[in-house]
Every structure is written in C-alpha cells, then in structure tokens.
Amino acid sequence: MKNRLLLKTASLLIVLALLMTGLSMIQDVVQDRIRNRDYAVQSVVASLAGSQTLIGPTLVQNCTETTSTSNGKKVEYTTREFQRLLLPDDLRHDASAHMEERSRGLHHVNAYVLHDQVSASFSNAAQYLESPKPSEPHAVVRCQEVNLAFALSDPRGIRSASIEANGKDLSVESGTPLNRYSKGIQAQVMPAMLKKGEPLNVSMKLQLVGTENLAFTPIATESKVTLTADWPHPSFGGSFLPTRREITDSGFTASWELSSLASSARQAFTRQQNLCSGSYRSEGMTYTSAEAARDNSGPCLESMSTEFVNPVNVYSLSERATKYGILFVVLTFVAVGLFEVMKQLRVHPVQYLLVGSALCSFFLLLISLSEHLGFATSYVIAASACVALLAFYASHILGSVKRGLPFALAISTLYALLYVLLQLEQTALVVGSIALFAVLALVMIFTRHVDWYAFGRNGSDSDAPARASNESQTAGQDYTPEEQA
C-alpha cells in the first residue's frame, strides 16, 4: 500500500478492536463481582432478615355472616366471611437503629438492630362490643375475638416484642389475621378493655433485626415517626421525605409528621393493597411495587423509608470507570500520535497495542484491589503502577526520557480527571464534555502547521518532486562542444 497513513489507520483500528474486546471482558468481570456481592447479600438476608417494613398496629376481627334461604321444603345456607378493621387515630414511632455490619467473604452487608417504642390510640374501639349489622334480613353474624395486629415484612428479625393495652400486658403470638399482611405479631384484646366513651391506648416495645432498608407505613389519622441511627449515610425515600432531619459524622436523626389527608395509606390498607415501594412477603408470595402499579383496584400502600447506604460502592464506581475505558485508550493513542507526527517518529501498531493493554490492566487492578484496600487507595496504587510502566515504555518508543515524561504527565492528568468524574454525579457530564473539548482544542493547536498530505506519503514518494525538478533543470541547460568534451 502506497499510502502509509492509510495503512497505519487500518492497523490502529484493528488494535482498537482488540482492546475493546479486552475491555468488554473486564466489564464482564466487574459484573460478575457485582453478582457475587448480590449473592452475598441474599445469603445474609436468608439467614438473618431482610429489609423491614412496619405496618400497623390495627384492630382486626374475623366475622362470618350466614344467610338462610327457603327453597321449597329445603333451607339453603350461604356463608360470607369478612373482617372488621379499625385503624388508629394517632400513631407514633420512637425508633433507634444500631448498625451491625455482617459479611460473607469479601462482601459486607449493613444490618441493623431496631428498638422501636410504638404508641397508638383507637378512639372508637368500643364498637367491637356489638356485632355488626347483617347485610340480609335473615342473616346471622357471628364474630370471633378482637385481635391487635402488627405486620412486618420479615418477622424472622424479631428479637423481642411486648404489647400493653390500657396499661395491661397482652399475650403476644406470631402471625396476624390480616389476609395479605399475615406476617408479624398479634395479641388478643379482651372485651373488658373496650369501654364506651374511652379510647383504647396501645403501647408496644419491639426489638427487630433487618438489613439495609427500614420503612414505616402511615396508616393512622395522624402519624409521627422519629428515627435515630448511628449511621452517617442515610438515603431517605419512599412516598414521603422527612419533615426534619439532622445528619452528622456519627449518625442521623429524622422525623416524619403526616396527616391522612396527605396519604392514601389508610384506604390502601383497608383494601390490603401492595406496597408502593420495597416488598412484602406473605404466604410464599412477594408483593412488590411493580405489582402495585399493575393493580388497578385501588391505591398502593405508601411508606416512609430509609436506606442505610455505603457512600463509596467500589463495584458501582469500578463499573462506571470501565465505561470510560475506550475513551482512555483513544486519548492515549492521540497523545502517542501527536509525538509521532510532531517529532517525526515511527511507532509500530504492536507498541500501540502494548500501551493500550497497560491501560486496560488498570481497570482490572482497580476492581481487584478495591475489594481489599478501599476504592481511593486502590485507585492511587493502580494508577501509579500504570503511569510508571507507561513512562518507562514511552521513554523508549519515543526516543528519550524528555519525551516520555510529558507523556506520563498527560496520562496522570487523564487518571486524575477520571477520578474527579467518578466522584461527581450531577456535574459529571459537563465536566467530561469540557475536558474533551479542551483535548480536541489542544490537538488542533499543536497540529495546525502539519502537512498531512506530506505525512501520508512514503519517503520515496516525497522525494519524487525533488528528483523531477532536478531533472528538468538539467534538461534545460545548454552545453557547448568544449563543455561537453
């Protein structure tokens, strides 16, 4: 091929394709480590407890309505079962969470121990002293005992629970009579505790274990939640953000105050709808927010949730870093190409391949070291090792240490820029765009005087015009016989 530039471009494209394949394999390694981390979390959840959602308390009574119908000489009976639900008028949670880190191999899981003091008031609890009116004239309604139900998403995390009603201790049992929210605790309320004109005041003390996420449901007319934890990195979510919060280096305190006018949780609980966020497992089925979105029978059950997140997730940061891998390779090739053009050097495609391979190894070093040393330390070690290797190699392929050191400085700048982009979330795009524009501007400035046509020709082709000029000058000269002799 006569055009050396075209041959070099084709070779570099092949090198880029090989390096992209290598980066793809490294991304697969990162995804595999992320899956291993998820498996470790699920292993801890399976043996400890999962994310906890607290639903209740509420008064529940199972009733049966029997209707008799005469059909000639025969009497037919029809039975209908239903539940009477009474939600609290006032509900308060005074909760504190103490973090207990659990691990599976290299992976750490944020578990917590929750101490919750729950108080609820039912102003119309005396209605349970009378049986409900039948829906048919000849129907008979029979009701069972009244139970106080408190549902949990994962009751395996219960360490202790006690319930008082109007100052009297109740016997706590597992499970709830609720149709959908059947996981939790319950206690029978004696009729003597239900007095006309007097509210039923319930007090609960609960010690609960969970992992990573904690949520409360505002099913009362007035719901107030105060949560304190020794974890300085909370992420508040769900349907409502806290009205007040204070976050320090040692932990946080958050409080929610919510009226039923601002929430549809009471209606959703009465219909026993799915949760709007998170999941609730009952009778072998897991109800999620996606199912709630598909359920058109009513609103979903809203919650106020807090996630105990790790501020530096080495796997998500490593995954983001590998996405910049091909950009790293291209910019490095541009730097080598500039030296090749400006200094009239010749760098073989194999040398480009080795330089790109060193860059790719950085991402593999980063994910492997960060599992043991933390992300920032691993980044410094991996970047320093790659910069030192490239500085040594560039000093030889570029012909001198004076050329290798500026190349190493440029690579160091790229690594510093990548670290800044990984730390940024809201402004990563604008910073990256400005940096790319600055690189393009520098390339255009440094190559503004380059004759790309002359650079693309072989050495023999570039000498042809000079030879042709010399021959024409020689042909145009007149020689005398004496000069010819």
72-87 tens-digit pLDDT: 677 777 888 888 899 9
- Please give the pLDDT value at position 465: 43
Distance CA 346, CA 82 (A): 86
Q: Identify the pLDDT of residue 426.
A: 63
Average pLDDT for 285-299: 49
Residue with tokens 């973090």: 99
Predicted local confidence at residue 297, as pLDDT: 52
- Confidence band for 454, pLDDT divided at 50, 70 and 90: low
Query: Which residue has tokens 């570039």?
Result: 462
376: Cα separation from own chain's centroid: 20
* pLDDT value of position 453: 65
398-418: average pLDDT: 82
Q: Are 448 and 431 within 8 A, CB to CB?
A: no
Residues 6+ apart with CB under 8 A from 201: 119, 120, 121, 122, 165, 166
Closest CA to 440 of 451, 432, 428: 432
Specify the pLDDT at position 288.
47
Per-residue pLDDT band at 467 (split at 50, 70, 90): very low
pLDDT at 461 over 60: no
Indicate whether 401 pLDDT > 70: yes
pLDDT band at 139 (very low <50, low <70, confident <90, very high): confident
CA–CA gap between residue 50 and residue 41 (Å, rounded): 9
Confidence tier at 312 by pLDDT (50, 70, 90)? low
Q: What is the pLDDT of residue 349?
A: 82
- Minimum mean pLDDT range among 111-125, 146-160, 257-271, 441-455: 441-455
Give residue 456's pLDDT. 54
**How does residue 475 score in pLDDT terms, banded at 50, 70 and 90?**
very low
The model's confidence at residue 285, banded by pLDDT at 50, 70 and 90, is very low
The mean pLDDT of 287-302, rounded to a whole number, is: 56
Task: State CA 134 to chain mean position distance.
Answer: 51
Mean pLDDT value of segment 397-426: 80
pLDDT at 457 over 90: no
pLDDT at residue 469 is higher than 60: no
Q: Is the pLDDT of residue 15 over 50?
A: yes
Q: Which of 290-299, 337-346, 371-380, 468-477 has the highest mean pLDDT?
A: 371-380
**Between residues 313 and 153, which one has the greater pLDDT?**
153
Query: What is the spatial distance between Cα 67 and Cα 78, in angstroms, rounded to a whole number?
Result: 5
Residue 46 has pLDDT above 90, yes or no: no
**Count of CB atoms situated within 10 Å of the CB of 217:** 29
- Distance in angstroms (rounded) separating the CA atoms of residues 400 and 228: 61
- Mean pLDDT rounded to a whole number for the chain: 81
Identify the pLDDT of residue 164: 92
Contacts (Cβ under 8 Å, ≥6 apart) of 13: none
* 3-class SS of residue 275: strand
Q: What percent of the chain has pLDDT over 90?
A: 23
Q: Say yes or no to pLDDT of 253 above 90.
A: yes
d(CA 323, CA 17): 15
Q: Residue 474: pLDDT above 50?
A: no
Label the pairing between strands 222-229 and 90-104.
parallel
Q: How would DSSP label each residue in 280-348?
A: EEETTEEEEHHHHHH--SS--B--EEEEE--S--HHHHHHHHHHTHHHHHHHHHHHHHHHHHHTT----
- Mean pLDDT calculated for residue range 100-110: 78
- Residue 195 has what pLDDT? 86
pLDDT at position 478? 46
Whether 1 shows a pLDDT value over 50: the answer reads no
Q: What is the mean pLDDT of residues 241-269?
A: 91
| 351-368 mean pLDDT | 86
Q: In the predicted model, what is the mean pLDDT of residues 334-350?
A: 76
pLDDT at 318 over 90: no
**pLDDT: which is higher, 233 or 291:** 233
Percent of the chain with pLDDT over 70: 85
Q: What is the pLDDT of residue 317?
A: 80
Given a cut of 90, is residue 471 above it in pLDDT? no
